[in-house]
Amino acid sequence: MIRWGVTMMWSGWGEYKGMKFMPEIKPISFLRSTQEISELCHSMDSPVFLTKNGYGDLVIMSMAAYEKLITDEKNGCNPQ
């Protein structure tokens, strides 16, 4: 199991769809703020990682980002 709170933070920049980014990591309690999390997901073109007790638990993204990811996969685009 990956401990995102430590591993991802210390590794710094991540990579998603061939672009480097600083991962957005939030505790799972952040799901209570539905408007804030919706705005965050729509403002980013990368996933938001949610942790539970310091461990990676969920990954969320906007529908537009997800549809683009699926379309890229169907077209044979390799994001790495």
Fold classification of 4-74 is YefM-like fold (3.40.1620)
pTM of the model: 0.66
The pLDDT value given to residue 29: 93
Residue 55 backbone dihedrals phi, psi, to 5 degrees: -115, 145
Q: What angle do CA 4, 62, 29 make, to 5 degrees?
A: 45
Structure confidence by residue, pLDDT tens digits, 24-64: 899 999 999 999 999 999 998 888 999 999 899 999 999 99
Q: Which amino acid is at 65?
A: A
Determine the Cα–Cα distance for residues 36 and 48; give it in Å rounded to an integer. Answer: 12
The pLDDT value given to residue 15: 59
Structure confidence by residue, pLDDT tens digits, 6-30: 344 434 455 555 656 678 899 999 9
Give kind and range of the element (H or E) at residue 7: helix 4-11
Q: Domain locations in the chain?
A: 4-74
